[in-house]
Structure 1
Amino acid sequence: MASKLDIHAQSQTLPGSEAAMDPPAEMIRAGYKGADKLAGKVALITGGDSGIGRSVAIHFAREGADVAVVYLSEAEDAAETKRLVEAEGRRCHLIEGDLSDAGFCRSCVDETLDTLGGLNVLVNNAGTQWVSEDLAELPDEQWRRMFDVNMHSQFYLAKAALAHLGEGDSIINNASINAYIGPDFLVDYSATKGAIVSFTRSLSNQVVGRGIRVNAVAPGPVWTPLQPATLGAHDPQWLEGFGEQTPMGRAGQPSELGPVFVFLASQDASFISGQTIHPNGGTVVNG
């Protein structure tokens, strides 16, 4: 079991930097042994430069997959993810750009196919958030941007990827505990995450007959650059004791999320589709 993190007041600016995290986050736990659960697979992971996405990329590589990593602009973090994946003996292709653009999303799929020779797993992980404590003051443009980045990108990417996925392949969408608990200062973010849960359920029903599984992950508080770059940017003190409200009394590590995605991408989850898994530190959300 991971130990409690000593998280103190701090802030960053979006999109956030893994290299600036204090304390550093853990990407893969010591002793994690790959078992070729994704041998020969190709995965496209959005937001794979840092946080949960980086952990997923490393875990997938250790399980035998080559990965394409999409990132917005964090070139230093992306280069480190590439180094870590290649250290596992797998290929890593980096793609830089804005996932709110439908054309770019389509090009991500095409580039993955051209560079890595196929596509078996789509991980829709990228997302953003901003704090807003009064709906009356939430700018219309922020609302639209939140859906463009968090929700619409998942639609664009899934739509482009489905033509290339087949029996045994999967789509994994990153949702959030906030879709279920609805924090009052993240109305727009929580709305996008609720939409992702419903999107996951309906898309699963549409494609499961083709042998393609679609599932979601709804993390609780996890120590990633998004936290200091959003919550910390709003008020650095908000990060004091981040995650201590969970029944486990701590925030999660990215290393505790990577294996969840491995499970859903592998044949271990062959009878699971349309579901949301809740690695959230023990909070019961009944969803």
Structure 2
Amino acid sequence: MAEVQPDPRDEGHTEGFPKQEQEQPGLTTEMEGVQPDHGEETYEGSGKLEGMKSLITGGDSGIGRAVAIAFAREGADVAIIYQPEEQQDAEETKRWVEQAGRTCLLLPGDLREEQYCTESVERTVQELGGLDVVVLNAAFQDVHESIDKLETAKMDRTFKTNLYGHMWITRAAAPHLKPGASILTTTSIQASNPSPQLLDYAMTKAALVAFTQGLAQEMAEKGVRVNSVAPGPIWTPLIPGTSWPDKLPEFGQDVPLERAGQPAELAGAYVFLASRDATYITGAVIPVTGGKPF
């Protein structure tokens, strides 16, 4: 008898979240009420990434942690980039990766620093013995009241974290990527349905779509695929780290499935795009938005 699939409206956490606020970068350990599900108890691997070496920016928590756990259970070693303030979260990710029998390299630093980005790639190649999958996932976002109140310092942090850092990582990684390797970006529903109070963040996510599609054409000549995942509202530390505590009780309720997603619900998309199952897919964006049109 065929297994009955669960109702997607009833998966994960189906209600809103308690009001809370953190300083950026948000930490999993400080999230109140509902803890994110990264697939710790549910993701089952099947060897789809056996022997691969991966680098994940923002791999300490949220979507990045879910991807790290899934990659490890699929047979990949993992290096994760994160900010020094996120060390405790990074150690927890490392624990789950090592529990899966894989190596986890911790690379604390700031994506806004060019030298750090370059050195992180070089350390990954040296210590893991190569590089097969680059996941450009880390991001900064915060709200502003109106365009005339948008501070230059905040714009710089958003653009340098979400774009410059990932350009530097990609530039350093490209010479090491062999045919069959892949680069995966994390864009957002904000790229096609921008919120006015997240204008600078939405701009960077739209830019990543163009980056993905353009780079896919260039890297095809090397046999390297480039694709993207576009999350909708996902419960990660980035959310309480954004200055909108009053919105949390309704967070994610406006999508057709009427709930926010969990990081674990995105991991399979990254695994698919990095695996042999997706050998004819490049320059694509997979929306994981709870039904909100991308």
* 2:36 corresponds to which of 6, 25, 28: 25
SS at match of 2:204: helix
SS at match of 2:196: coil
How far, CA to CA, are the matches of 1:129 and 1:33 in structure 2? Answer: 31
Name structure 2 gaps, 5 residues minimum.
Answer: 1-7
What does 1:122-201 align with in structure 2 at a 5 Å threshold? 122-201=134-213
Amino-acid identity (%)? 45
| 1:236 lines up with 2:248 in the alignment | no
Deviations 1:36-71 (A, max 9, x none): 100000000010000000000000000000000111
Preserved contact between residue 219 and residue 280 of structure 1 (Cα < 8 Å): yes
| 1:70 lines up with 2:54 in the alignment | no
How far, CA to CA, are the matches of 2:93 and 2:41 in structure 1? Answer: 17
How far, CA to CA, are the matches of 2:169 and 2:244 in structure 1? Answer: 34
Question: 2:289: which partner in 1?
Answer: 280
How far off is 1:110 after superposition?
0.5
* 2:25 corresponds to which of 15, 22, 40: 15
Name structure 1 gaps, 5 residues minimum.
Answer: none
How far, CA to CA, are the matches of 2:98 and 2:145 in structure 1? Answer: 43
Normalised by the length of structure 2, the TM-score is: 0.94
| 1:42 lines up with 2:63 in the alignment | no
Question: CA, structure 1 residues 98+31, in 2 after alignment: closer, same or farther (shift >3 Å)?
Answer: closer
How far off is 1:144 after superposition?
2.0
How far, CA to CA, are the matches of 2:162 and 2:16 in structure 1? Answer: 29
AA matched with 2:244: D
AA matched with 2:29: A
Deviations 1:102-142 (A, max 9, x none): 11110010010111111000000001001012111111222
How far off is 1:11 after superposition?
1.2
SS at match of 1:67: strand
Normalised by the length of structure 1, the TM-score is: 0.96
Question: CA, structure 1 residues 5+84, in 2 after alignment: closer, same or farther (shift >3 Å)?
Answer: farther
How far off is 1:153 after superposition?
1.0
Question: CA, structure 1 residues 27+210, in 2 after alignment: closer, same or farther (shift >3 Å)?
Answer: same
How far off is 1:180 after superposition?
0.4
How far off is 1:143 after superposition?
1.4
Deviations 1:61-112 (A, max 9, x none): 0000000011112110000000010011100010000011111110010010
Greater Cα shift, 3-12 or 255-264: 3-12
How far, CA to CA, are the matches of 2:40 and 2:113 in structure 1? Answer: 35
| 1:215 lines up with 2:227 in the alignment | yes
Question: 1:227: which partner in 2?
Answer: 239
How far, CA to CA, are the matches of 1:54 and 1:24 in structure 2? Answer: 13
Question: 1:257: which partner in 2?
Answer: 266
SS at match of 2:197: coil
Deviations 1:147-184 (A, max 9, x none): 10001111101110010001110000111110100111
How many residue pairs get matched? 282
How far, CA to CA, are the matches of 1:54 and 1:243 in structure 2? Answer: 20
AA matched with 1:19: T
- Give the RMSD, CA atoms, in angstroms: 1.1
AA matched with 2:188: S
AA matched with 2:263: P
Preserved contact between residue 6 and residue 23 of structure 1 (Cα < 8 Å): no
How far off is 1:263 after superposition?
0.6
